[in-house]
Structure 1
Amino acid sequence: MNTQKKTNSSESSSRLWTTRYGMMAGIPANGPVARSLQRYGEWAEQELNLLSGLIEDGQSVLEFGGEYGAHTLWFAQAVGEKGKVHVAEPRRLPFQQLCANVAINQLTNVYAHSRWLGRADAQVSLSSLPGGVVARGEEEEIANTVTLDSLDLQSLDLLKVNLPGSLIDLLLGAAETIRKHRPIIYCRLSGIEQAEAEVQAIKELGYRCWSHTPYLYNADNHAGERGNIFPGCVQQNVIASPVESRFELERRYEL
């Protein structure tokens, strides 16, 4: 009996990862986010390097796409007890893992939503949604789709969209929220065929857009690992700010 308990305890602890912003775990653990968290103790850290100069104590953030809470943990610390971090994650297992990681780190200012953010309230198959968020061979899932406007957020300073292919529909359901709060928008583009339309959709809301192409591998990673499992891989991202804010990114290419 004692031997079995020790074995289970050892197996359990091996599933926890020590990351830059707290303890985490991920199931399934074979995607790029999980691999990066396991090996480097961080994920897409260069995104946070850019955003760290824009987030302040007491602000509100919304992420679409949980990614195990990889960036949620940092946002929760950055906005402090008076701030709020909303995370919408439509997939069942990633949502459960996100909630577990939030609980492990005792983050009381994080609000998790098991929802797809789109242009209208509905129930849809995840495989039919933009971005192909259900991998081949995975069990079919039905997601509750709501508009960002329906969340009726009292404030929003940053909107971060992690799921490629979702941006245009999300913006169509967020017109009132964006008109009211004018958040900074940071998103991952969907590829060559959709990128122009995505950037144009942001501009039509009265925003200026800059390109940001962070590398997935960070040489100064938390674990001090020198091996690069993402050679040459970058995210194709956009950071956008309301025209009236007079915000400038001098070292970035304006789109």
Structure 2
Amino acid sequence: MKTVHKIAGARAVYRIIRAGRSLLGKTDRGIVVRDGIAYDLDLSQGIDFAIYLGNIYERGTKAALRKLVPASSLVLDIGANIGAHTLHLAQLVGPEGRVIAFEPTDFAFRKLRRNLELNPQLAERVTTCHCFLTETDKTDVPPAIYSSWPLVEKSGLHAKHLGRQMKTESAQSRSLDSILAELADRKVHLVKLDVDGFECDVLRGATTLLRETRPVFVMEVSPYVLEEHGASLEEFLSFFIPNGYAFYDERTLRPLPSSAGELQQMIGDGAGINVVARVNQGSAS
């Protein structure tokens, strides 16, 4: 389902919930607990609202992570936003594991930090990085990046996914290899990557990770947002296929095509597909 359709459905449900809460004298803001994790939510935001509705935000991805993340491992959450997956990953890795979470927008990073504060036991396992991951350190950071999906009508939203750009004034630019050289105390086991079209920017700075460590990747692949940022599905695949990776459906783990043309045809315009990328057994070093 296209994001625009998901948001349209969420907006309809939000209007009903908002009316009911108003009758009870409640606002859109509140702290809730879902699956043992506390969140400070703004129900007018799409991600927050999905968490409020029984923690249904990207349930397929959560299910995949439960299968793929072992205890005591090091995992990366790239595009952490408010921490919906960060906190879940912290549960999965356990007290001996570690999560490094990356978020470039000031708006989402504040919310991420707040949600970690509400869960101090999990927060001990998480290192947060307020940065934009790209090819090299100390390059220009885009002034704004999509990290808000409002459920109320606003101007200036993306035509297809209805996201809103938020400022990155406090973020630094770093390469992933550079940060891991500083922070990684063990081999990276898994990377959750969802950066709305900036995937190639991240991967250009992850040469060592892709060639030597070769962790599992859990990602959303959306060709149209790659193209909006001057990249392409062909370039995206070029970081994985030569390094022995194959792609699988996130839900069924069935093999997916490894050619850009076949993947593009499968995904369609204005949509994305959730995938798992991992190294074939015969390609593992």
Q: Do both share a fold (TM > 0.5)?
A: yes
Moved more, 161-170 or 192-201: 192-201
Alignment correspondent of 1:174: 206
Structure 1 counterpart of 2:65: 51
Q: Show the counterpart of 2:239.
A: 201
Deviation by residue 1:2-61 (Cα, 9 ceiling, x = unmatched): xxxxxxxx979951122224110235x433211201223341111111221111111011
> Which residue in the other structure is 1:242 paired with?
279
Partner of 1:252 in structure 2? none
- The structure carrying a bigger helix percent of its residues is 2
State the superposition RMSD in angstroms.
2.9
Structure 2 unaligned segments of length 5 or more: list them.
Answer: 1-24, 149-155, 157-163, 253-269
Q: Give how far 1:197 is off.
A: 3.5
Number of residue pairs aligned between Structure 1 and Structure 2:
216
User: 2-side partners of 1:25 and 1:99: how far apart?
Assistant: 10
Residue in structure 2 matching 1:22, options 12, 37, 41: 37
2:208 corresponds to 1:184: no
4+ residue runs of structure 1 moved beyond 4 angstroms?
A: 10-14, 137-140
Using structure 1 for the length normalisation, give the TM-score.
Answer: 0.74
1:95 paired with 2:109, answer: yes
* Contact 2:64 2:251 (C-alpha < 8 Å) held by counterparts: no
User: Equivalent residue of 1:68, what SS?
Assistant: coil
SS of the aligned residue for 1:72 comes to: helix
Cα shift at 1:125: 4.2
Matches of 1:44 and 1:234, distance apart in 2:
15
Amino acid at match of 2:245: Y
Paired with 1:88 and 1:200, the residues of 2 have a C-alpha distance of 23
Q: Distance in 2 between matches of 1:56 and 1:178?
A: 20
Paired residues for 1:81-92 under 5 Å: 81-92=95-106
Decide which of 188, 192, 210 is 2:248's aligned counterpart. Answer: 210
Using structure 2 for the length normalisation, give the TM-score.
0.67
CA contact (8 A) 2:76 2:192 kept: yes
Instruction: Give distance in 2, aligned partners of 1:190 and 1:21.
Output: 31
Shift, 1:190, TM fit: 2.4
| 1:200–1:102 distance in 2 versus 1, CA, 3 Å | same
Q: Distance in 1 between matches of 2:165 and 2:206?
A: 30
Q: Within 2, Cα distance between the matches of 1:243 and 1:36?
A: 34
- Please give the secondary structure, in 1, of the residue aligned with 2:135: coil
Query: Is residue 59–residue 156 contact of structure 1 (8 Å, CA) maintained in 2?
Result: yes
TM-aligned CA deviation for residue 99 of structure 1: 1.2
Q: State whether residues 134 and 140 of structure 1, in contact with CA within 8 Å, keep that contact through their aligned partners in structure 2.
A: no
Which residue identity is paired with 1:51?
L
- Give 2:256's aligned residue: none
Whether the 8 Å contact between 1:207 and 1:243 is mirrored in structure 2 is yes
Equivalent residue letter for 2:200? I
Pick which of 68-77 and 173-182 moved more: 173-182
